[in-house]
Structure 1
Amino acid sequence: MPELRCTVQTCTHNKNFYCDLDGIVVGGNSAKRAEETCCDSFEERKGDSYSNVTGEASPTSTIDCKATDCTYNNECKCHAGKISVEGSSACHCDQTECATFTCGCK
């Protein structure tokens, strides 16, 4: 499982730069650049509330990846050692991105 670091402080699942979900989904099936990806698992935090998910925030996570042109995507699973999800003040998932995305396009 990749190490997942998340700077999206406006997401209800973010706890001290880690995600409390066991797995996330990175969107961007036609992405050619990091800016064209997003965290489809993003949920905007309302007020000071945190997720009701009972799991602990962890530095690792399963990552289902729809960005099929990413060099780290193998059968829709991320195989990077570490990834970074960014978008510190996002209100919608399309304001987030997988900063680790590297296009394997030819």
Structure 2
Amino acid sequence: MPDLRCTVQTCTHNQNYYCNLDSIVVGGNSAKKAAETSCDSFEARKGGSAYADAYSNMEGKEASAKSSVDCKATECMYNKACQCHAGKISVEGGNACHCGETECATFKCGCA
């Protein structure tokens, strides 16, 4: 499992720059660059400020640096059998309102 960092503070799963999900899905089936990928597990934080108490809706689930990454970006050099095998990945999208505004910044096209 890769070391997963996340800068998407508007996501309900983000806890102190880590994801509190055991597994995420990175979309981008035909992606050739990072901007064409997305975190399909993104869910917008409900109510109030996205930055106000990032722990208030975590229901006691502890975030971890390690998460399984189901990767649909088949052209990525780190994708093996739809699983991410990068040592570290970064999901970015700061103030995203929907998954299309997020991306896997670690994506590197393995295509010729």
Q: Into which bin does the TM-score normalised by the smaller protein fall?
A: over 0.9
Of structures 1 and 2, the larger Rg is shown by 2
Question: If the length of structure 2 is used for normalisation, what is the TM-score?
Answer: 0.90
Identical-pair percentage: 71
Q: C-alpha distance in 2, partners of 1:28/1:61? A: 19
1:12-68 superposed Cα distances (whole Å, 9 cap, x missing partner): 00000000000000000000000000000000001255244x531000100000000
Alignment RMSD, CA only? Answer: 1.1
Question: If the length of structure 1 is used for normalisation, what is the TM-score?
Answer: 0.95
Count of residue pairs the alignment pairs up: 105
User: Which structure 2 residues correspond to residues 1-106 of structure 1 after superposition, within 5 A?
Assistant: 1-48=1-48, 50-52=57-59, 54-106=60-112
Which ranges of structure 2 fall in alignment gaps of 5 or more residues? 49-55
The letter of the residue matching 1:8 is V
Task: Please state whether the residue corresponding to 1:85 is helix, strand or coil.
Answer: strand
Name the stretch that deviates more: 2-11 or 54-63: 54-63
Which ranges of structure 1 fall in alignment gaps of 5 or more residues? none
**Aligned partners of 1:36 and 1:97 also within 8 Å:** yes
**Aligned partners of 1:22 and 1:55 also within 8 Å:** no
